[in-house]
Amino acid sequence: MPLLSIIIPTKNRYNTLLPVLQALLNHIQGDDYEIVVQDNSTVDVEGGQQAIKALGNDRIAYYFSEDALSVTDNTNLAISNSIGDYLAFIGDDDLVSPYILEVVQIMVEKEIDCLISSRGNYYWPDVVMAKEYAYHYPAALFCPRQPSFDVVMKQCDEEMDKVLHDGGVNTLMLPTLYHGIVKRSVMDAVFERFGTYVPGASPDIALSTALCCVMSTYGFMNYPVTITGASKNSAAGMGARKAHVARIEEVPWLPKQLVSTWDSRIPRIWTGTTIYAQSILEVYQQIGLSKSVNFANMYANMFIREPKTKRLVFPFLMNVYRNGFKKVSFLSSTFLKALMFKSLYSLPGWWINKWFSMKGTYDDFILHQGIDSVDDCMSLLKTISCPKQ
């Protein structure tokens, strides 16, 4: 049984999956791992399967389902088909550190059941940016400037409270299997409590919420253990060009029942903002817990930062204004913050870079440009030095 299972659910994206598989096989240091590919493709399946077989590596555990699956169901199958003592979940345009097995060994030695990290971020050459600035350029990688294998322990409840107060607009530093590493026994505890590994519509935040229900602490490492990839047709890639909005009825990879169970306090739009809040509430409801999401913050952020949602979000904002001075006061401050950021990011890229430079933002991360392939990205990651434990 391998130490680590790297699970990759995929659908109709062999153009990114195949180079990712080859890069991982070429560069991961050690062989105590498997890569579980859970394929639900409908296009060029035979060609894709032949290409995966041609890689000729028995560390790839390939599974195919011809039934139309939601991303949640496909992820559940991937976890079910894995056999490693620890699991890491990435997308089909993402990467992991060449030294990920060394990181898992640190988890074993320190008895850490779940670890998150400062991810690296790689923009594929085909990504189209709405605006190029700071770290946001095609064919570019950015990652922590001063990486370390030191582990800082965090509290699940504290981090979830921050996410709820923020309106569920992002995952902040929650524990996670998606771009995290989790011990199998913890994932088994999730399954025992919920009857599934992924008890919500959005696998990343649903897994995070479920982990908060079965754990109290987890570790954080300021090291790029995983690399978030953004290719042209990924969610991250769509976000980069501001194309990350759709009505929930029009999103084919969401669970079918979600249309009828969607929370009435959340606009019926698929964005990273709404699907996160929906999934958090979904998970807690399954075990009879009621959690309060700061919806005012969600509405304000959507209205300012996601212009395509304005017409649908406006009635929700009006309901907040009818609910008293305290909420109106909070909403006004949220609007001011969101407007400030929108004004900043509406400036030319060189002005944004100047602002980041003045704030010292560039002190935390380093940008590498001209990285034309994921294989080149993995080669670069091998050069990142880090003190050994």
Query: Tell me, what's the pLDDT at 75?
Result: 96
Is the CB of residue 138 less than 8 Å from the CB of residue 124? Answer: yes
pLDDT of the residue at 235:
58
Instruction: For the chain, 389 residues long, give each residue's pLDDT as a single digit of tens.
Output: 899 999 999 999 999 999 999 999 999 999 999 999 999 999 999 999 999 999 999 999 999 999 999 899 999 999 999 999 999 999 999 999 999 999 999 999 999 999 999 999 999 999 988 888 888 899 999 999 889 999 999 999 999 999 999 888 889 999 999 999 999 999 999 999 999 999 998 899 999 999 999 999 999 999 999 999 998 875 554 444 445 577 777 777 677 778 788 888 888 888 878 889 999 999 999 999 988 888 888 888 787 777 778 778 878 877 766 665 445 555 556 667 667 777 777 777 777 777 777 766 677 889 999 999 999 999 999 998 664 54
Listed in sequence order, the DSSP H helices in the chain are: 14-27, 45-54, 71-80, 100-110, 156-165, 184-194, 203-214, 235-240, 258-261, 272-286, 295-305, 310-321, 325-345, 349-359, 374-381
Q: Could you give the dihedral angle defined by the CA atoms of residues 276, 218, 225 and 104, in that order, rounded to the nearest 10 degrees?
A: -130
Measured distance CA(101)–CA(33) in Å, rounded: 8
Q: How far apart are CA 380 and CA 331, in angstroms?
A: 44
Domain 4-236+367-381 = CATH 3.90.550.10: yes
Q: What is the pLDDT of residue 322?
A: 65
**Is residue 221 within 8 Å of 148, Cβ to Cβ?**
yes
Q: What is the pLDDT of residues 231-248, one digit of tens each?
A: 887 555 444 444 557 777
The confidence score (pLDDT) of residue 351 equals: 74
- How high does pLDDT run on average in the chain? 88
3-state secondary structure of 103: helix
CA neighbor of 196 nearest in space, from 290, 308, 131, 279: 279
pLDDT of residue 328: 52
Q: Identify the pLDDT of residue 379.
A: 96
How confident is the model at residue 247, as a pLDDT? 76
Distance, in Å, from the CA atom of 276 to the CA atom of 213, rounded to the nearest integer, reads: 16
CB 134 within 8 A of CB 352: yes
Pseudo-torsion of CA 230, 234, 235, 237, nearest 10°?
50
d(CA 48, CA 105) in angstroms, rounded, equals: 33
| pLDDT given at position 335 | 66
CB-CB contact of 225 with 103 (8 Å)? yes
For the record, the structure tokens of 75 come out as 């992820």
Are 59 and 34 in contact by the 8 Å Cβ rule? The answer is yes
Measured between alpha carbons, how far is 337 from 356 in angstroms, rounded to an integer?
17
Q: Determine contact, residues 387/149, Cβ cutoff 8 Å.
A: yes
